[in-house]
Copies of this chain bind each other. A is one copy, B any other.
Amino acid sequence: MGEVEHVVGMDIGGTKMLAVVFDDQFKPVGRFRKKSKAKVPPEQHINNIIQGALDDAGVQKIRGVGMGSPGPLDPDTGVIIDTPNLGWKDFPLAGIVQDHFGVPAVVDNDVNMGTYGEWCFGEVQDCRNVLGMFPGTGVGGGIIIDGKLYHGASGSAGEVGHMTLEVDGPFCGCGKNGCLEGLASRIAIAKEVVALAARGDAPYILENCGTDLSKIRSGMLSRAIAAGDTQVERVVRHAAFYVGVGVANLINVLSPEAVVLGGGLVEAMEDLYLDEVTRAVNDHAMPFLRKNVRIVPAKLGDDAVAMGAARLIHDKLAS
């Protein structure tokens, strides 16, 4: 019997970091999660989290590490160019992990890794061209073209959340106006919902969150809608429709075989999102391009980025 060969997949988020050890069948055999902010230097923090997952799995030997991180970053060198949330600038993430563990490491955008995971392990494994769309705190997108993650000339393609959908639309976090993200992210929804609460038009929200935007999480929106806050539903549907307009634009440009919808908002309100996105695609994608496109919900949940990252390092080692 040969030695079991493990890989590590890591999800580096703005608030938490998760490392998962997978066996050669991609079954998770150990994991470790920590807040992103730490007292130790970031290189030490990351190595500690990976070590924590190895300890949890009781594994000493690994073949490689895949990491999904917020961008922009250079997937060829594994250097994070700039991640304001984490205070990283020209941070050689792959090199740090490679040097410490003595194995190859690969870094890609977290949304790309999530899309790759959903493609490799979810419902659309038979497709060669896949769009992943993940509305959440922002609106991220991942593009798979001809069976490979697409990076463009800069290495950072796929900023689908910053497509302009209304030239004079609402402010976006990027400093522009009318981006998909400014119209459809959780923050874009939450600001409308707290305004509803302040006006007395969202009783469930007012009772449970007051008018504090930070308390408006995906689950809270879902519960408010179930409890009968009809104006909250209207706001969420409006945002979901814009996600669908973004999907429609990308169907028109990229003509994928499948679209995977994921992220916190979709997980909390899957039917509503599929409903509105399908409606928007029917309204805004060209009939001959949309007719064979499957629109499916993501299946991997919180492990999507780690699984995609683990699979990507596995595929790179195999190629």
Contacts and interface: CB of A to CB of B under 8 A. Distances in A.
Nearest to A128: B153
Contacts of A163: 163, 249, 252-253
A123 interface: no
A233 to B, nearest CB: 19
Which of A72, A129, A254, A293 is the most central at the interface, judged by chain B CB atoms within 10 Å of its CB?
A254
Nearest to A152: B255
A23 interface: no
A293 B157 CA distance: 12
Interface in A174-232: 174, 176
A257 interface: yes
Interface in A227-245: 242, 245
Interface stretch (A25-33, A43-51, A86-94, A283-291): A283-291
A82 B288 CA distance: 10
Interface stretch (A53-61, A164-172, A310-318): A164-172
Contact of A164 (B81, B141, B150, B284): B284
A77 interface: no
A10 interface: no
A217 B30 CA distance: 67
A294 to B, nearest CB: 10
A269 to B, nearest CB: 21
Contact of A250 (B253, B284, B286, B292): B253
A66 interface: no
B72 A159 contact: no
A6 interface: no
A27 B145 CA distance: 35
B289 A156 contact: yes
Contacts of A141: 253
Given A129-B152, A253-B159, A288 B245 contact: no
A248 interface: yes
A256 interface: yes
Contacts of A157: 253-255, 289
Interface of A: 72, 81-82, 127-129, 141, 143, 145, 150-160, 162-167, 174, 176, 242, 245, 248-250, 252-257, 283-286, 288-289, 292-293
27 contacts: A127-B153, A129-B153, A141-B253, A143-B253, A145-B145, A151-B255, A152-B256, A153-B256, A153-B257, A154-B288, A154-B289, A155-B255, A156-B289, A157-B253, A157-B255, A157-B289, A158-B255, A159-B253, A159-B286, A159-B289, A163-B253, A165-B166, A167-B242, A167-B245, A176-B283, A250-B253, A253-B253
